[in-house]
Amino acid sequence: MSKTQIQIFDTTLRDGEQVPGCKLNTPQKIIIAKQLDLLGVDVIEAGFPVSSPGDFKSVEEISKIVKNATVCGLTRSVENDIKIAAEALKYAKKPRIHTGIGTSDSHIIHKFKSNKEAIIERAVRAVSYAKSFVEDVEFYAEDAGRTDNEYLARVCEAVIKAGATVLNIPDTTGYCLPHEYGAKIKYLMENVKGIDKAIISCHCHNDLGLATANSIEGIINGARQIECTVNGIGERAGNTALEEVVMIMKQHPYLNLDTNINTTMLYGISQLVSENMGIYTQPNKAIVGANAFAHSSGIHQDGVIKNRETYEIIDPKDVGVTESAIVLTARSGRAALAYRAKNVGYELTKLELDVVYAEFLNFADTKKEVIDSDIHEIIKTTKIYN
Ligand code: KIV
Ligand code: ZN
C-alpha cells in the first residue's frame, strides 16, 4: 500500500527567525533557502514581507532562486499586507500567500476588540483578496489551540468557500495536550463542510515541550501538512522540530506516512542554521545534537560495539552523521577502551587490556573525557610496549 505523503512546510526563515536577537540577513536567508529546497521541503515560508524592507527583499530574492518548493509569505488579514506579499512573491514558480487572524476568545476580545461574526467576515475578505493574486492561499486561525472547536469549524468552512487551499490550525501558545490537539483535527475533518477541498496543517509551538507530539497526533488524525523549523527554533520555546517529525515518520513505517525529505541532509542543515543564527544546539537535542549518537557508559558501549541497534534506533548515516561515537569517560568499560585503542593502533591482548584499563581509570577520574592523545599517554605509562 502506498504511503500518505505529508507536506513539510518549513518556517525557519519566518517563525524560526523570530528568536530574539537572531536576525538573518538576505544572503544568509538565501543560503538556507537553497539548502531547504535541496533537502526536499514542500513549502518554504520565506518571511513576512510587509514587516520590513529587508524581509520583503529576502522573500523576493528567495522567490527567484527556489527551484522546487512553494515559496510562501506571511500576512495579517490586512489588504496592504496581502498586496505587498503578492508583490514580493511575484518571481516564485509556486507562490503561496499565508493569511489569517486570531480566532480564540482571548484574541477576538482583547486583541481585536471584536466579535466572532466580524472575525469570520475579515477572514473571508482576506482569503478572497489573496485569491485575486495567487491560486494557493493558506489561512491560519491564530490561537486555534485555545479556540472552541465549533467556532473553529465555522471559520474553516467560511474560508474554504472563499478559496483557501490549506487550513493552518496553530497551537500558537503551545498549550494543547497531544490527545486534545489530535481530537481538534479529527473534529475539523469530520465537521467542516468542504474539507475535501483543502488540507489541514499543524503548526505547534513548544511551550510545554509537546510541539512534536502534537504535530504527530495532528497527522494521525488527518492533517496533511506539518509546519516546523530546523532545530525547532522559534519564538519563546520554539516550534516543532523538522528533523524530529521527519524521523518519527521514517522510523515508524506502520504509520504509513512519508515525506519528500532527504534525511541524510538533516545534520548538515542543522549545523548551517545553528551557525548562521548563532544559536548553539543543545548536545542532547534529538536527531542532531552532538550527543544524539554518542555512548559513554560501559554497558551501552559494550552493546553498541557488539551491535549498534542495541542502543540506537536510528542509523546515524541516515541523518548525515558519519558514525556513532564511543566516548571514553570514567564510566566506560574495557570493551570501549579496547575499541578506541584499536582505532589508534593498539591491538591489546586480554592481559594487556587489564593493565591499561587500571591505568585508564585513574586517568579518567581526573578528566571529563579521555581523547585519542590520552590513550597514547596511558599506554606509554603502562610500559607494555617497551
Ligand atoms: O504561531 C502562530 O500562530 C503563527 C501564525 C502566524 C501562523 O505563527
Ligand atoms: Zn507560530
Model confidence pLDDT, tens digit, residues 222-260 = 999 999 999 999 999 999 999 999 999 999 999 999 999
Residue range(s) in the chain whose domain bears CATH number 3.20.20.70: 7-277
Average pLDDT over residues 347-353: 96
Rounded Cα distance between 220 and 16, Å, is 25
Residue 378 binned pLDDT confidence (cut-offs 50, 70, 90): very high
* Tens-digit pLDDT profile for residues 167-215: 999 999 999 999 999 999 999 999 999 999 999 999 999 999 999 999 9
Residue 343, pLDDT score: 96
Quick check: CB of 235 below 6 Å from ligand 1? Answer: no
Residue 161, pLDDT score: 98
Q: Please state the atom number of ligand 1 nearest to the C-alpha of residue 98.
A: 7
Whether 180 and 213 have beta carbons less than 8 Å apart is answered as no
Q: Please state the atom number of ligand 1 nearest to the C-alpha of residue 14.
A: 8
Residue 354 binned pLDDT confidence (cut-offs 50, 70, 90): very high
Residue 385, pLDDT score: 73
For the chain, the average pLDDT equals 97
Residue 21, pLDDT score: 80
- The rounded Å distance from CA 308 to ligand 1 centre is 40
Rounded to a whole number, what is the largest CA-CA distance in the chain? Answer: 88
Quick check: CB of 171 below 6 Å from ligand 1? Answer: no
In the CATH scheme, what is the code of domain 7-277? Answer: 3.20.20.70
Residue 382 binned pLDDT confidence (cut-offs 50, 70, 90): very high
Residue 384, pLDDT score: 81
Q: Please state the atom number of ligand 1 nearest to the C-alpha of residue 142.
A: 3
Measured in degrees and rounded to the nearest 5, phi and psi for residue 118 equal: -65, -35
Residue 290, pLDDT score: 96
Quick check: CB of 170 below 6 Å from ligand 1? Answer: yes
pTM (2 decimals)? Answer: 0.96
Q: Please state the atom number of ligand 1 nearest to the C-alpha of residue 168.
A: 7
- The rounded Å distance from CA 118 to ligand 2 centre is 23
Residue 201 pairs in a beta bridge with 168, 225
* Tens-digit pLDDT profile for residues 40-93: 999 999 999 999 999 999 999 999 999 999 999 999 999 999 999 999 999 999
Q: What percent of the chain has pLDDT over 70?
A: 100
Residue 13 binned pLDDT confidence (cut-offs 50, 70, 90): very high
Atom 2, ligand 1: residue with shortest CA distance: 172
Position 9 pLDDT exceeds 90: yes
Q: Exposed (0-12), middle (13-18) or buried (19+): which is 253, by Cβ within 10 Å? A: exposed
Rounded Cα distance between 383 and 114, Å, is 82
Q: Provide the grid cell at 293.
A: 549518537
Atom 5, ligand 1: residue with shortest CA distance: 142
CA dihedral 93, 14, 121, 198 (to 10 degrees): 50
Residue 102 binned pLDDT confidence (cut-offs 50, 70, 90): very high
Rounded Cα distance between 267 and 39, Å, is 11
Q: Which residue out of 72, 172, 228 has the highest number of ligand 1 atoms within 8 Å of its CB and is therefore the one to mutate?
A: 172
Of 21, 47, 19, 23, the closest CA to residue 236 belongs to 19
Average pLDDT over residues 111-130: 98
Of 16, 1, 36, 42, the closest CA to residue 199 belongs to 42
Whether 72 and 85 have beta carbons less than 8 Å apart is answered as no
Residue 386 binned pLDDT confidence (cut-offs 50, 70, 90): low
Please compute, for residue 360, the number of CA atoms within 13 A of its CA located in the half-sphere on the CB side.
27
